[in-house]
Amino acid sequence: MKTISVLGSTGSIGTQALDIARLHKIRIKALSANSNVELLAEQAREFNAEYVCIYDKSKYKELKDNLSGTDVKVLCSMEGLCEIAMLDGVDILLNSVVGMVGLKPTLTAIDKGVDIALANKETLVAGGKLVIKKAIENGVKIFPVDSEHSAIFQCLQGNEMNEINKIILTASGGPFFGKTKRELENVSIEQALKHPNWSMGNKITIDSATLMNKGLEFIEAMWLFDLKPEQIEIVVHRESVVHSAVEYKDGSVIAQMGVPDMKLPIQYALLYPKRIYCNEKALSLTDYGTLSFSKPDYETFDCLRACIKAITIGNSMPAVVNGANEQAVELFLHEKISFLQIGELVTSALESIKPDDIKCLEDVIKADKIAREYVLSKI
Ligand code: MN3
């Protein structure tokens, strides 16, 4: 059986990954959380983890006290995450932290030659060029955890990459599908946090409401599958049953379907290429009856447009839109800006900040910082 480490183990993806570890007796080497000491300590005890890391340094002592009397080694901050990323005897590192924080641990694991199950999409958006180049050099596999990218990965099995016409990236459309900008002027945090199909963390749920999430996934897909922008079609599919599809040169379109549940893509990434029992939820197509598909609304959802433009420009621009968005979402969640301002700030960051070369991690961090400062200076 495999041994894994999980960065972000107390979040939505992390806890579901541990459900899978429990079900299939996957060994856990190390776990990390941002600040949830209670749950992290409980997980460390249950899974006999050798290492834990709390990213928020101020919680270090609390975690250390909680685990006193156990053999668990307690780490903290970015150094701790990177120490976990380079541990020996780990088959897969599941990176499910939220945001740019995930980039350095990902690069560290790749340097060490550890395969990665990647749920941290901001990593690939901001640092895709570095991550993919390094992964190829080191022969490291990156297994996508995002449901759409897992679907594409599944549809590619047994086929050749050079026989692809395009991929069809499906989008649920989020809670504000069909709305005009005018109707979104007074959206509350509660309304934006209510997703029709998926239950997820706060950052990604807001990103789904603005469709920034789909823009990030567009960029993520380009890096993961070595595609050009014109090879990706975004299709709104309200039911989230078709998780994405691949169109081949002979005209055949292969789609992956299932109930909207993250357990399957997480398990596929961790146990690839095995297909074994995952959960009791089964897809009943006749319960759905009809599935719908439509074009995205780029006018209302300007974040989506900004992401596609950013990756078309290339260089530091994906890191810029990602950084601007992370900052704007944080401001929205603290009631400092309105819902529509998220898209406005991301767009104006894209239009105002000049692209820079990305040669190393520091370049990515710099682009991210410039974008965040830009957003803060505008409010
Ligand atoms: Mn997704």
79 alpha carbon to ligand 1 midpoint, in Å? 29
The better pLDDT of the pair 16, 281 is held by 16
Q: Is the pLDDT of residue 311 over 80?
A: yes
Q: Which residues contact 225 (CB under 8 A, 6 or more apart)?
A: 152, 156, 161, 164, 167
Side chain identity at residue 82, one-letter code: C
Report the separation in Å between the CA atom of 151 and the middle of ligand 1, taken as the mean of its atom positions.
10
Can the peptide bond before residue 296 be classed as cis, meaning omega within 30 degrees of 0? Answer: no
Q: How far is the CA of 169 from the centre of ligand 1 (A)?
A: 9
CA of 119 to the centre of ligand 1 (A): 9
Mean confidence (pLDDT) of the chain: 96
> What is the model's pLDDT at position 123?
86
Cβ–Cβ < 8 Å for 315, 130: no
The domain segmentation of the chain, as residue ranges, is: 3-140, 147-173+211-293
Q: How far is the CA of 176 from the centre of ligand 1 (A)?
A: 17
| 28-32, 35-39, 82-86, 125-129: segment of lowest average pLDDT | 125-129
pLDDT at 284 over 90: yes
Question: Alpha-carbon distance 242 to 310, whole Å?
Answer: 27
Place of tokens 């968005």: 325
Q: 195 falls in which pLDDT band (50, 70, 90)?
A: confident
Classified as helix, coil or strand, 105 is: helix
Portion of the chain with pLDDT greater than 90, in percent: 95
Mean pLDDT of all residues in 162-190: 96
Kindly give the distance from the C-alpha atom of residue 72 to the centroid of ligand 1, in angstroms, as a whole number. 33
Closest CA to 305 of 234, 226, 200, 224: 234
Cα(65) to ligand 1 centroid in Å equals 37
CA of 167 to the centre of ligand 1 (A): 14
What's the average model confidence in pLDDT over 310-323? 97
Query: What separation in Å is there between the alpha carbon of 105 and the centre of ligand 1?
Result: 21
Asked if the model's pLDDT at residue 199 lies above 80, the reply is no
User: Using the 8-state DSSP alphabet, how is residue 161 labeled?
Assistant: G
CB atoms within 10 A of CB 298: 14
CA of 265 to the centre of ligand 1 (A): 10
Would you tell me how many other CB atoms lie within 10 Å of the CB of residue 336?
A: 12
Q: For residues 169 and 232, what is the distance between their CA atoms, to the nearest angstrom?
A: 7
Ligand 1 centroid, distance to 258 Cα (angstroms): 14
CA geometry: angle 355, 216, 232, nearest 5 deg: 100
Least confident of 21-35, 42-56, 200-214: 200-214
Query: Which pLDDT belongs to residue 207?
Result: 96
- Between 147-156 and 263-271, two packed helices, what is the crossing angle to 10 degrees? 50
CA 121–ligand 1 middle distance (angstroms): 9
Centre of ligand 1 to C-alpha 171, Å, is 8
Average pLDDT over residues 250-274: 97
317 alpha carbon to ligand 1 midpoint, in Å? 21
Cα separation of 377 and 129, whole Å? Answer: 29
Q: Which CATH number fits domain 3-140: 3.30.70.2740, 3.40.50.720, 2.60.15.10, 3.30.365.10?
A: 3.40.50.720
pLDDT at 135: 98
Report how far ligand 1's centroid is from the alpha carbon of 43 (Å). Answer: 26
What does the pLDDT read at residue 196? 79
Cα 153 from Cα 147, distance rounded (Å): 10
Strands 164-171 and 242-248: antiparallel
Residue 107 predicted with pLDDT over 90: yes
Predicted local confidence at residue 201, as pLDDT: 85
CA 170/CA 221 separation, integer angstroms: 12
Instruction: Give yes or no for residue 200 having a pLDDT over 90.
Output: no
Reduced to 3 states (helix: H, G, I; strand: E, B; else coil), residue 211 is: coil
| Rounded distance from Cα 19 to ligand 1 centre (Å) | 20
| Residues facing residue 255 across a β-bridge | 245
From first CA to last CA, the distance across the chain in angstroms is 52
pLDDT at 54: 98
The pLDDT of residue 198? 79
SS3 category, 44: helix
CA of 61 to the centre of ligand 1 (A): 35
Structure tokens at 131: 């991550």
Average the pLDDT over 15-40 and give the result: 98
Least confident of 163-177, 189-203, 273-287: 189-203
Q: How far is the CA of 147 from the centre of ligand 1 (A)?
A: 5
Distant-in-sequence, close-in-space partners of 92: CB < 8 Å, separation ≥ 6? 2, 4, 5, 114, 115, 116, 117, 143, 269, 270
Local confidence band at 253 (pLDDT 50, 70, 90 cut-offs): very high
pLDDT at 63: 98
Phi and psi of 152, rounded to 5°? -60, -45
**Distance from the alpha carbon of residue 59 to the mean position of ligand 1, in angstroms:** 31
Residues 64-85, mean pLDDT to the nearest whole number: 98
pTM value?
0.95
